[in-house]
Amino acid sequence: MPPRCIDNLFLRFIQLVSLVSIVSLLFIIFFLVKESYLIVQEKPILTVFTDPAWHPLDGQFLLLPMMVGSLLIMLGAMLIALPIGLLTAILCRYYAPRWFATIIQRLMEVFAGIPAVVYGFWGVMVIVPAIAAWQAPGTSLLAGILVLTFIVTPGVTIISYHNLSQVNQTLLHSAIALGLSRYNIIRHIIFPEVKHGLITATTLQSGRAIGETLAVLMVCGNVVQLPGSVFEPIRTLTSNIALEMAYAMDTHRSALFLSGLLLLLIVLVLAFIAESMQKPKAESQ
Footprint of another protein (CB under 8 A): 53-58, 124-125, 128-129, 132, 136-139, 217-218, 221-224, 233, 235, 242-244, 246-249, 252
- Could you say which DSSP state residue 221 is in? B
Find the shortest distance in angstroms from Cβ 33 to another protein: 22
Identity of the residue, 121 or 191, whose beta carbon is nearer to another protein in the bound complex: 121
**36 contacts 268 by C-beta, under 8 angstroms:** no
Identity of the residue, 248 or 270, whose beta carbon is nearer to another protein in the bound complex: 248
C-alpha torsion angle, residues 66, 67, 69, 74 (rounded to 10): 140
Find the shortest distance in angstroms from Cβ 238 to another protein: 13
Other CB atoms within 10 Å distance of the CB of residue 98: 8
Other CB atoms within 10 Å distance of the CB of residue 79: 11
Question: What SS3 state is found at 167?
Answer: coil
Helix (H) or strand (E) run with residue 238 in it: helix 237-244
Identity of the residue, 206 or 222, whose beta carbon is nearer to another protein in the bound complex: 222
- Residues 6 or more apart from 252 whose CB is under 8 A from it? 56, 57, 244
Find the shortest distance in angstroms from Cβ 235 to another protein: 7
Find the shortest distance in angstroms from Cβ 212 to another protein: 16
Identity of the residue, 25 or 53, whose beta carbon is nearer to another protein in the bound complex: 53
CA distance 149 to 170: 35
Identity of the residue, 64 or 124, whose beta carbon is nearer to another protein in the bound complex: 124
Find the shortest distance in angstroms from Cβ 248 to another protein: 6
Identity of the residue, 222 or 238, whose beta carbon is nearer to another protein in the bound complex: 222
- Residues 6 or more apart from 67 whose CB is under 8 A from it? 237, 262, 266
**Residue of 161, 54, 49 whose CA lies nearest to 105:** 161
Find the shortest distance in angstroms from Cβ 62 to another protein: 12
